[in-house]
Amino acid sequence: MSKPDNNHTSGGGQLIPITNMGEGSQAAQAVLGRDLHEFLEVGASYRHWFPRMVAYGFEEGVDYVVKNDRSASPAGMPSRPRLNHVVSLDMAKEIAMIQRSAKGRQARRYFIEVEKRARMAPAFDPSQLTRSEILLIALNAEEERLALEAANKQLQPKADAYDYFIDSTGSYSMGTVAKMLGIGQNTLFRELRNRGILITKGDMRNTPYQRYANYFEVKAGGYTRSNGTQVVTHTTRVRPRGIDFIRRTLGLHGAHPMLPMTFQ
């Protein structure tokens, strides 16, 4: 499991402090979960909110690692551990969009800018963002918020409908995803089989190969035939991150604008 590196965890010019997840050349930019939670102004407490975010399909050791902080205590008393997490920027961007708020869109723009700077200059320190640059990011986010607010008045009923079809573990049925993408369900299954993403034959037909398992969720079920034979079934559902993966894989550039993970 990756270990958090606390270099660059503070900086006067940062909208949200940036840290590292991992070590050496494998280190990746990240943020602390509590910093993100505070910036997004989430109403729920952190210990209840973060597990709900993880349920959207994120994996410990891949998208985030646990990091226990020390909370402040009265004078003379030992500090107590406080649950926190180091969250990859990819996960942080997805969480920001899940909030569907101005703060979420502002955070996402900031993370994209941090990543862009890192690609352009590998030695770039995110703490060097100037106040003017941060204000520009905030201004752009506000302009985007106003545009999205107008669009959402028309799109929100469909967005609410998609939320209705997401289950308690945070995944969508293949039929719902097909509707989001503007294609038929049978076509979706066929194209994913043709591209070697879903298994083509046998008892596990239409379930994902292991290397694509992080984009999907497979639920086992079963029923009893009239002759008493027990039949095991497997139902493939799509995690939120899998929707954009499917869209890109199939080259569906005209997909519905309310797709959860197409805001890249």
The predicted pLDDT at position 177 comes to 86
What 141-148 contacts at long range (C-beta under 8 Å, 24+ apart), as own/partner pairs, is 141/102, 141/105, 141/106, 141/109, 142/102, 142/106, 144/105, 144/109, 145/102, 145/105, 145/106, 148/105
Kindly report whether the global pTM for this prediction surpasses the value 0.75. no
* Dist. CA 231–CA 187, nearest whole Å: 26
pLDDT under 70 in the chain at which residues? 1-13, 24-26, 70-79, 121-128, 148-169, 253-264
Cα 264–94–40 angle (5° rounding)?
115
CA atoms within 13 A on the CB side of 123: 0
154 φ/ψ sector (left φ>0, alpha ψ -120 to 50, else beta): alpha
Which amino acid, residue 147? A
pLDDT, tens digit, 9 for 90 and up, residues 24-34: 656 788 999 99
| H helices present in 30-173, as ranges | 33-40, 46-54, 89-98, 102-120, 131-164
Domain boundaries, the chain: 4-155, 172-250
